[in-house]
């Protein structure tokens, strides 16, 4: 029997509490930024890393051969700024502002189950503003329709009536066009 490997090569170890309890409870933008921070730090065996907004949005390109090393989060710049503000506001991520750029680090003290359940996810969701595309801003359905009760026959009759009206109009147009052509040919 083979021994199980502790670490898969070319992989990133992410704390289970992030995957099990934090990611399912926070909005997508915050989740993508959190995972990107995990990748840039834990993926390179670091506690913290300097990550620019351009890296968050577009990823990293190699300076030597212009090869795309990663694609970032795929989010727009305003979405990244808002998500990072919420992650920092919840205390889950700490940011150190330096001349060379912002250094991001996960606050490992908050990654204990009891803190996560009591407040980190709730705090992130409270910090998140509702956008125009959120479900809460969609108009409410006024009347519930049940197509099985309404009867499909009534709908068929309406469709057939509309088709007949359209065909009659087309026929009238064709007759007018023919009569005009006939008058021109007589003259």
Instruction: Write out the two tokens for 163.
Output: 């088709």
CB 116 within 8 A of CB 110: yes
Task: Give the mean model confidence (pLDDT) for residues 130-146.
Answer: 53
Task: Give the mean model confidence (pLDDT) for residues 73-102.
Answer: 89
3-state helix, strand, coil split of the chain in percent (to 5) is: 60, 10, 30
Q: Is the per-residue pLDDT at 72 higher than 80?
A: yes
Q: What is the DSSP letter of 101?
A: E
Q: How far is CA 16 from the centre of its chain?
A: 23
Mapped onto helix, strand or coil, the DSSP state of residue 96 is strand
Give the CATH number, domain containing residue 105.
1.10.10
pLDDT digits 0-9 by tens, 19-47: 888 888 888 888 899 999 999 998 888 98
Please give the residue range of the domain that contains residue 153: 149-186
Q: Would you say residue 112 lies in a domain? A: yes
Q: Would you say residue 167 lies in a domain? A: yes
Mean of per-residue pLDDT scores for the chain: 76
Q: What is the DSSP string of 7-76?
A: S-TT-----HHIIIIIGGGS-HHHHHHHHHHHHHHGGGT-SEEE--HHHHHH-EE-TTT--EEE------
Q: Identify whether residues 75 and 103 lie together within a single domain.
A: yes
Q: Identify whether residues 103 and 175 lie together within a single domain.
A: no
- pLDDT confidence band for 17 (50 / 70 / 90): confident
Domain count, the chain: 2
Q: Would you say residue 5 lies in a domain? A: no
Torsion of CA 149, 153, 157, 163, to 10 degrees: 100
């Amino acid at each position: 029997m083979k021994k199980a490997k502790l670490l898969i090569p070319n992989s990133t170890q992410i704390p289970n509490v992030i995957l099990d309890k934090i990611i399912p409870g926070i909005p997508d933008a915050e989740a993508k930024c959190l995972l990107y921070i995990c990748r840039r730090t834990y993926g390179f065996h670091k506690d913290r890393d300097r990550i620019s907004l351009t890296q968050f949005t577009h990823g990293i390109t190699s300076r030597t051969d212009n090869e795309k090393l990663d694609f970032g989060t795929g989010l727009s710049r305003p979405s990244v700024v808002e998500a990072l503000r919420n992650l920092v506001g919840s205390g889950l991520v700490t940011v150190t502002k330096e001349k060379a750029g912002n250094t991001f680090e996960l606050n490992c003290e908050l990654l204990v189950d009891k803190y996560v359940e009591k407040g980190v996810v709730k705090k992130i969701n409270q910090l998140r503003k509702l956008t125009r595309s959120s479900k809460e801003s969609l108009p409410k359905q006024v009347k519930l329709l049940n197509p099985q009760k309404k009867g499909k026959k009534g709908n068929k009759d309406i469709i057939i009536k509309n088709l007949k009206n359209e065909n009659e109009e087309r026929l009238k147009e064709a007759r007018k066009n023919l009569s005009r052509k006939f008058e021109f040919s007589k003259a």
